[in-house]
Amino acid sequence: MNLKKTNALRLFMSTVVTTTTMVMCAAPVHAENLGSTISLEESGAELENVERGECPYTWVTVSDGATQVLYPSGGMYSIMYDLRYFSNGNDFSHQDYQTANGCGGYKSLSEHPDFLNSLKETLQNARNSGTSIVLRFSYASDNTAGNEPSKTGENGAEPDIDLILKHISELAPVINEYKDTVLAVECGMYGPWGEMHTSMYDEPQYYSQLSKAWLSNLDSNIKVLVRSPKHLMAHYGFGDKGDEFAAAIDNGSLRLDPRLGMYNDGYLGTSTDVGTFGAENSGSYITRETAADLLQRMDTVPYGGEMAYLTLSDLQSNGSIIYDEPALMGELYMTHLSYLHNINESGHTIAGELDKLTVSEDFILPGADKKDFAPYIDKSYREFIRDHMGYRLLVKESDMSETLDSDGTFTMTGAIKNTGFGNFLTDKKAEVILKNGDDTFVSSIDNFNAKELKSLATMNYDWSFEVPSELSAGNWDVYLRIKNATDTGETSKTGIAFANKDCFDEDLCANKIGTISISSDDIKETPDQPGTDASTDEPGAATSTDEPGTDASTDEPGTDASTDEPGTDASNDDQGKTDKDKKDSCDGKDKKDKKDDKHDHHKKNDKKNNYGKKNSKTYKFKRFKYKKH
C-alpha cells in the first residue's frame, strides 16, 4: 500500500496559489511591556484543551452494588460502561475469545437502583470541570464474546435487537441532559470491548439499526461514531457492497450525515489498521486510501480511538504507515485525527516506536510555515501527534494600542492560525478581557465564528473597543479567550490555551495578548450600557472578504458537511493538550516550501480568512466578577 500515490492525497496536497489582503501586524516599536506582548513563537507544549488530544478512558462495570461515580478532568475523557448486568448473554463463541460470562439477566436499565443516577452524577462532574466526554456502552469490557442479549429461536439463541434498542432509548435522555458535555457516543453495544466485531450482531441488518437508533435518540449536538467503514457502509444503505460504497465516495455522490463519524481501535497497527480497512474495495471493506478520502470529508466529527496493541515484530512486518513518513504526515491531516486514548502510554509498542521516529523538515506540508513546527523538527513523532490532534491555535501576528486614542477607544489586530490536524467540532465564543488586579471587564466578540478556523487556515482580526468610564487609571492586561459557546458561568472552564509561549492564565482560562496604559484623563463618560449584546449581528465586528464556510452546526443530516479539500481556506470546508503549566507560543509569516517532484502531492495551501477592513463596530465592556479556579 502506497498512500502517497492516491488521488485523494494528490488533491489534498495540491498547491493552490492565493493572494489575500490582511492587516499586517508588523513589529511596531512599543514602550516596554505595553501594547502587544504575546510571543509569536510556538512553544512545543502539550495543551490540555477541550474536544481534542490525549483522551484517557475508564471502564465502569455495572453490578448488583452501587455504580462507580467518576470525576473526569482534563480536556477530553472517555468513559465506557459494561452493561452485562442487563443481558442474558448468548451462545456465540470464537476460539480467540472467552465465552459469555457474568451476565445478570434480561433487564431494563431502570431495574438497577442507581445506574442511571450515577451516570448523571459522572456527567455532571465532567461538566463542572469543563471536560469533553466520549461515551461507549457495551456488554463486555474484556475479551468476552457472547454477552449480548438473545432470545430463543428455531435454531437456538438468536439476536434480540429489541432489548439493545430499548437500552439505547433509556440511555439517551440522560445523555441529552449533558449535550454541552458529551461530544460523542461511540456506537459500541456489541463485541469484545464494545469494538463491534466477533458477535452474532456483526451483520449489516443489526449494526445499521444501532447507529440509526443512536442518531435518532440523541440530541442533534451529539456525534455518533461507529467502529469501521463497514458500519458506515451499512448505515448508508450499501450493505456489504464495498465496491459500490467506494464508488460513491470517489464520485462524490455519497451524502454524509454531519453527525456520523468513526472510531478506530486498531490505529496504526498494520497496513489495514488490524482489519479496519481492507486490501481491496470488496466485501465489507474499503481500502485505506478510500477511507482516508472519506474521512477527509467527515470533518465535522471527531476521529480517533486507540493505537493497536501488538508486538514489535508484528508492527514492523505488517506494513504500518508509521514507517512511511510522507504518507503518515499526509494522512494525519487528511483524516483530521482528533484524539487517542493511549498516545502517552508507557511501554506501548506503537507509542515507543513513534518516540524513536523523528519529524523531518522535508515532510512538513508545503504551504505551511516551517516556523510553526520548529519545536518539533527532529523530535519525537509521538509528541508531534499528541500536540496536533484536533485543533492547535497559534497567534502569528499581533498589534495593540499602548494607550487609549483620543476618543477613549483602543484597537487590537492580529492573525490566528490553526496548525492542528482537525477543526472545531462545536460552537465557540470569543471574548476580550481587561484585567487589573481583581478588577475585570469582559467584551463578547460577535461575528467571530471559530468554526471557520479550519486546519492549517489563518483568521485575521481587527477589533476596536470603548473602555467604560468606571475603569481606574493604571496598566490593564488584555486577554483573548475562545471557549465553548455553552460555557456561560462566571468562571470559564473551557477556555482554549494557545500554542504561544507563556500566555495562558489558568484562572481566567484566557491568553494574554498585551497591556494597555489608561490614565484618568483618557477615560470618557459613556452611556449606561452594560456591554455588547453578542446576539446582535452588526456588520464590521469581523468582516471577511471571503465568504464564511458552512457552519457544521447548521448542516442538515444527510448532507455532505465538507466536500472541499482541507487546508485551503478558513472560509471553506477544509481541515483543522494544555501543558500542566499551560503555556504557549507563536510566530511567523506563511511561506511556501519548495519540494522536489517526488513530494509534489504534499503541497498544501495556507490561505487566510481576511478580517483586514477597519471595523465599523466598537465593542464595549461589562464588569465581570473575577473568581480564581
Question: Which range (206-220, 511-525, 558-572, 593-607) has the least confidence?
Answer: 593-607
Question: Quick one: average pLDDT of 561-581?
Answer: 40
- Give the chain's mean pLDDT: 85
Read off the pLDDT of each residue in 577-592 and give the average, rounded to a whole number. 37
CB-based contacts of 277-284 (< 8 A; 24+ apart in sequence): 277/228, 277/229, 278/242, 279/1, 280/242, 281/242, 281/243, 281/245, 281/246, 282/242, 282/243, 283/240, 283/242, 284/204, 284/230, 284/233, 284/240, 284/242
What mean pLDDT comes out for the span 432-448? Answer: 94
* % of residues, the chain, pLDDT over 90: 74
Give the C-alpha distances (Å, rounded to integers) separating 5 from 10, 145, 253, 297, 362: 7, 39, 23, 19, 18
Query: Residue 139 has what pLDDT?
Result: 98
Q: Residues 210, 289: one domain?
A: yes
Residue from 290, 329, 254, 322 nearest 567 by CA? 329
Cell numbers placing 302 = 471527531
More confident residue, 32 or 174: 174
Distance (Å, whole) CA 246 – CA 290: 7
- Same domain (yes/no): 483, 544: yes
At residue 572, the pLDDT reads: 40
- Pair (343, 270) in one structural domain: no
In the prediction, which pLDDT does 625 show? 73
Across residues 60-72, what is the average pLDDT? Answer: 97
Dihedral over Cα of 252, 258, 262, 263: its sign? positive
Q: Positive or negative, the Cα torsion across 354, 355, 357, 358?
A: positive
Residues 313 and 330 in one domain: no
Here the cell at position 593 is: 516550501
Assess whether 329 and 315 both reside in one domain.
no
Whether residue 298 sits in one domain with residue 411: no
Which of 321, 355, 390 represents a domain boundary (last residue)? Answer: 321
Within this chain, do residues 386 and 315 fall inside the same structural domain, yes or no? no
The 10 Å Cβ neighbour count of residue 75 is 23
125 and 242 housed in the same domain: yes
Q: Is residue 254 very low, low, confident or very high in pLDDT (cuts 50, 70, 90)?
A: very high
Given 270, 301, 321, the domain boundary residue is: 321
Number of domains in the chain: 2
Q: Which residues pair with 221 in a beta bridge?
A: none
pLDDT digits (tens, 9 = 90+) for 320-379: 999 999 999 999 999 999 999 999 999 999 999 999 999 999 998 877 889 999 999 999
Specify which residues 264 forms β-bridges with: 305
Q: What is the pLDDT of residues 380-401, one digit of tens each?
A: 999 999 999 999 999 999 999 9
281 and 393 co-located in one domain: no
Identify the pLDDT of residue 628.
Answer: 63
Q: For residue range 97-106, list pLDDT tens digits in order.
A: 999 999 999 9
426 and 379 share a domain?
Answer: yes
Residue that terminates a domain, selected from 276, 305, 321: 321
- What are phi and psi for residue 322, nearest 5 degrees? -65, -20
533-552 mean pLDDT: 37
Q: Would you say residue 538 has pLDDT above 70?
A: no
DSSP, residue by residue, 301-343: S-EEEEE----HHHHHHTT-GGG-HHHHHHHHHHTTEEEESST
**Which domain covers residue 253, as residue numbers?**
53-321
What's 526's domain CATH number?
2.60.40.770
What pLDDT score does 524 carry? Answer: 62
Residue with cell 457495551: 138
The pLDDT score that the predictor gives to residue 121 is: 98
Residues 562 and 534 in one domain: yes
- Verify that 275 and 388 share a domain, yes or no: no
- Alpha-carbon distance of 504 to 307, in angstroms, equals 30
pLDDT computed for residue 626 by the predictor: 63
What is the predicted pLDDT for the residue at 156?
A: 85
Quick check: 547 pLDDT over 90? no
pLDDT at 490: 75
